[in-house]
Structure 1
Amino acid sequence: MNSDTVTAISATVVAMGSLWVSISQTRAAQLHNRQSVRPLLQLRHTMAYDDHRAGLRIVNAGLGPAIVTSTTVLLDGERIGQWDLDTRNRISDPLPIRPKAYTLRPGAVVLAGQSIFLFHLEHFQESEHRWFWELVTRRMIVEVIYESLYGGESFKAVPPVT
C-alpha cells in the first residue's frame, strides 16, 4: 500500500466518523426539541378548602400544550362513553346535586400550566357531600389519551388509585 492509498482510506474513515457524529447530534437535538414541548397531563382528586370546591381536576404539568385525542369514562368498572355532555348527564342525573363539568372532546387543547376542574361541586362540605367524593375518587375513572404538537405519541393520563 502506498501513502496515497493510506491517506485516502484515512480521509474516508474520518469523513464517515464525522457523518455518524453529525447524524447522532441531529437525532439528539430532535429528541431534545420534542421533550422541550412535551405535555404532562395529570388527573387529580382535589378538595380545595379555600374556595370550597372538590372534584376531579386535570393539570398540564408539562412544558407544552396537550392535544386530547380521546377520553374514556368508567363508572363502577363499566365503560359508559367519552367525557362529553351525554356522559356527564348520565353520571349527574341520578345525583342529588348536579356537579359542574368541563368536557374534553377530541382536539381539545390543555395549555402548559393550565388546571381545569373536569367535574366538581362548589360549596363542598365533606360531611354533606361524602357521596360525591366517593364518586370521583372510587367509582368514576376518566382516562385521557393525548399527544404533543408533534403528534403520534398516545400519552395517557388516569387519576391516581385511592
Structure 2
Amino acid sequence: MNIETGVGVCATVIALGSFWISWGQARASRAHNRQSVRPLVLIRTVRAGYRDDVAGLEVINAGIGPAVVTRTSVTLDGEVIGQWDLPTYHQMAQVLPLLPKVKTLVTGAALIPGERSYLLHLEERNGQESAWFWELISTRLLVEIRYESLYGGEDFVARSTLC
C-alpha cells in the first residue's frame, strides 16, 4: 500500500466519523426541540376549600408547550358513554340532582401552557348537598384526554384518577 492510498483511507475514515458525529448532534438537537415544547396535561379531582369553594375535575397544562386534544373519552360506572362533549354531558346530567358547570373539549382544541380550568365543577353549598358530586368525580367518573404537542404524533394521555 502506498502513501496516497493510506492518506485516502484516513481521509475517508475522518470524513465518515465527522458525518456520524454531525448526524448524532442533529438528532439530539431535534429531540431537544421536541422536548422544549412538550405539553404535560393533568386532570385532578379538587375538593371545595382547596383554592376556592368549588369542587370539580380540573385540567391543567403544566408543560411548556400547547397541548392539542386529539381524542377524549368519558366512563361512568365502568361504561364508556362518549367523548367529553355536550351530548355526553346532557346524557350524564339526566341522572344528576343538580347540573354542574361544564367545559367541553373537542378534537383540535388547544390547552395553552399554564392553563387551568374545570372540566366539570359545582360551587360548594354545604357538605351534604354536594356529597353526591364528590362521589361522582372521585369514584364513578373517569375522563381521559389524548393529546399531542405541536409536532404531532406523540399520543400523550391524561386520565382522571378514581379514589
With structure 1 as the length reference, what TM-score do the two structures score?
0.96
Deviations 1:56-75 (A, max 9, x none): 01100111000001100000
Deviations 1:9-58 (A, max 9, x none): 00100000000000000000000000000001011001241420011011
Following the alignment from structure 2 to structure 1, what is the Cα–Cα distance between the partners of residues 126 and 6? 83
Q: Percent identity?
A: 51
1:12 partner letter = T
8 Å contact from structure 2 (residues 37, 66) kept in 1: yes
Residue of structure 2 equivalent to 1:152? 153
Give yes or no for the alignment of 1:36 onto 2:36: yes
2:10 partner letter = S
1:109-128, aligned counterparts within 5 Å?
109-128=110-129
Residue of structure 2 equivalent to 1:78? 79
**1:157 counterpart SS class:** strand
**2:52 counterpart SS class:** coil
Deviations 1:65-106 (A, max 9, x none): 000011000000001000000111111222111000000000
Following the alignment from structure 1 to structure 2, what is the Cα–Cα distance between the partners of residues 48 and 13? 67
Unmatched segments (≥5 aa) in structure 2: none
Following the alignment from structure 1 to structure 2, what is the Cα–Cα distance between the partners of residues 7 and 13? 10
Residue of structure 2 equivalent to 1:7? 7
**2:47 counterpart SS class:** strand
Range with greater deviation from structure 2 (123-132 or 108-117): 123-132
Range with greater deviation from structure 2 (13-22 or 49-58): 49-58
**2:75 counterpart SS class:** strand
8 Å contact from structure 1 (residues 45, 55) kept in 2: yes
Unmatched segments (≥5 aa) in structure 1: none
1:133 partner letter = W
Residue of structure 2 equivalent to 1:89? 90
**2:87 counterpart SS class:** helix
Moved over 4 A (4+): none
Following the alignment from structure 1 to structure 2, what is the Cα–Cα distance between the partners of residues 23 and 95? 58
